[in-house]
Amino acid sequence: MPVCVLPQPPRPCEDYWWEWKHCRGLRHAFHHYYAHGELPACGRWKEDYEACRAWERDRTDAAKVPHPPPPAAGGGSGLKAPVWRLRKSPPPEWYLPLDQDKPN
């Protein structure tokens, strides 16, 4: 009977641990909230780390990392609408000087 060797996870387990710790950090959470309007979902990194450790321990198919890591840019499943309405053309008085000297 031949022995089946399962392929290892795509990354070392320490990478998943580091990504989870980084994702939970205050600086990353603040940046992600500023850029995307919501806190990052870090549970996926923890699940991948636990699956990787289980694979190292048991070497079973069920313990393989279930999905590839998310992209570094943090892109979600869909595009979000822009915060501001985009203009089709400049305002009609765009060339006039600003009213910086006038009080509000």
CA torsion sign for 89, 92, 98, 103 is negative
In a domain, 55, yes or no: yes
Alpha-carbon distance values, 90 to 44, 53, 95 (Å): 44, 57, 10
pLDDT confidence bin for 97, thresholds 50/70/90: confident
Q: Greater confidence, 87 or 70?
A: 87
Alpha-carbon distance values, 40 to 4, 10, 22, 44, 93 (Å): 38, 23, 11, 10, 42
What pLDDT score does 73 carry?
47
In a domain, 43, yes or no: yes
Q: Which residue segment(s) compose the domain that 51 sits in?
A: 16-63
Q: How many domains does the chain have?
A: 1
Section 78-104 average pLDDT: 76
Q: Greater confidence, 48 or 82?
A: 48
In a domain, 103, yes or no: no
In a domain, 72, yes or no: no
CB 64, CB 52: distance < 8 Å: no
pTM value is 0.51
In a domain, 21, yes or no: yes
In a domain, 88, yes or no: no
Alpha-carbon distance values, 79 to 14, 46, 101 (Å): 31, 25, 41
Query: 20-29 pLDDT, tens per residue?
Result: 999 999 999 9
